[in-house]
Amino acid sequence: MAPNAERLGEIRSDWSLAEVRKLHALPFADLIWHAQSIHRRHFDPNLVQVSTLLSIKTGACPEDCAYCPQSVRYDTGLERESLMDADTVIERARAAKASGATRFCMGAAWRSPKDRDLDSVAEMVSGVRELGLETCATLGMLTPVQARRLKDAGLDYYNHNLDTSEDFYGEIITTRTYQDRLDTLAAVRDAGINVCCGGILGMGEDVSDRVALLHTLATLSPHPESVPVNQLVQVEGTPLAGTAPLDPIEFVRIIALARILMPRAHVRLSAGRSSMSDEMQALCFLAGANSIFYGEKLLTTGNPDTASDHALFGRLGIRPEPAAASG
């Protein structure tokens, strides 16, 4: 029996850590059944939202995130690239739309954007939006003024991940604090931009860290509109290369937990799909994942090719979600 079973499916931000822990420990079949039942109350279970990523500024990042190939501190062989010009970005967005994406997410390897950079990003955002795509950006920490600037340019979503639990966070990043991340999320929310916030699994964290991350996300009020669940992509040269891989069943459990705790959020099966079997991805969709990154590249690393994603969608009877209905 689930904790407070009669309250499952309610939209609430007052989850206790004990409740989240108990849900996580449910037998797999019970957990998936709750997740799938809740999923069907809020979404068409055969629709999946499709986002494409583009790295608009690559590498040479001053931060020390231990998973990241773009940090200047690790030798990963990545070529640095300065900020792309707006026309090139808009062309890439046009191609992503033609290939079936409905949201275009622009990522930059910055600690935080400079005001001068924001002029260019604002131009990209308005150009991409004019194509009829939803816009998303992930540029590092933002001040409230910067967030309002992006809102005015037409930004629909801002991605800023908590990455892991507050306790484990210090093992992964030392150059910005957990509170810095919460402050950016508050600035984004206050500016009226939809929040995209999730984390990474498989960094050597333990179950209590995964439960605590989900608890922090689910006690944000309101919940993030999008919750990306990434599996660590191990990149040679980063401190986390060689970390013991996560049990795929545990990954699916976290997807189900996100679905149960945040019933209206789009839960995105994010980085790491290249190393997942079709069967594992099918389990993730069954557990309530209803969004993916689509296109042959994430930011700097690989993603499944579009033909294999079309084949997977075909086998599962999944259709891409139309743009206007996303959230």
| Residues at the interface with ligand SF4 (CB under 6 A) | 61, 63, 65, 68, 70-71, 109, 111, 140
Asked about 197 being catalytic, the answer comes back as: no
CA distance 110 to 170: 19
Out of 92, 103, 136, 273, the active site residue is 136
- Cβ atoms of 109 and 58 within 8 Å: the answer is yes
Helix (H) or strand (E) holding 47: strand 47-57
DSSP labels for 132-152? T-EEEEE-S---HHHHHHHHH
The residue from 109, 150, 153, 312 that contacts ligand SAM (CB under 6 A) is 109
Place of tokens 């995105």: 268
Binding of ligand DTB by 51 (CB under 6 A): no
Q: How far is the CB of 219 from ligand SAM (least distance, A)?
A: 20
Binding of ligand DTB by 270 (CB under 6 A): yes
Q: How far is the CB of 230 from ligand DTB (least distance, A)?
A: 5
Asked about 105 being catalytic, the answer comes back as: yes
Asked about 136 being catalytic, the answer comes back as: yes
Binding of ligand SAM by 138 (CB under 6 A): yes
**Buried b / exposed e along 76-96 (16+ C-beta atoms within 10 A):** bebeeeebbebeebbebbeeb
**Phi-psi map region of 41: left, alpha, beta (phi>0 left; psi -120 to 50 alpha):** alpha
Out of 105, 149, 210, 259, the active site residue is 105
Q: How far is the CB of 259 from ligand DTB (least distance, A)?
A: 17
User: Token pair of 194, please?
Assistant: 């939809």
- Residue 131's closest CA among 323, 306, 326, 327? 323
300 touches, from ligand SF4, ligand DTB, ligand SAM, none (C-beta below 5 to 8 Å by class): ligand DTB
Out of 210, 268, 273, 284, the active site residue is 268
Strand pairing of 266-269 and 291-293? parallel
Residue 114 vs 319, nearer CB to ligand SF4: 114
Residue 35 vs 65, nearer CB to ligand SF4: 65
- Cβ atoms of 96 and 52 within 8 Å: the answer is yes
Binding of ligand DTB by 140 (CB under 6 A): no
Q: How much of the chain is helix, strand and coil, in % rounded to 5?
A: 40, 15, 40
Q: How far is the CB of 45 from ligand SAM (least distance, A)?
A: 26
Residue 67 vs 285, nearer CB to ligand SAM: 67
Asked about 284 being catalytic, the answer comes back as: no
User: What residue ranges bind ligand SAM (CB under 6 A)?
Assistant: 61, 67-68, 107, 109-110, 138, 140, 160-161, 163, 200, 230, 232-233, 235, 271, 299
Catalytic residues: 61, 65, 68, 105, 136, 196, 268
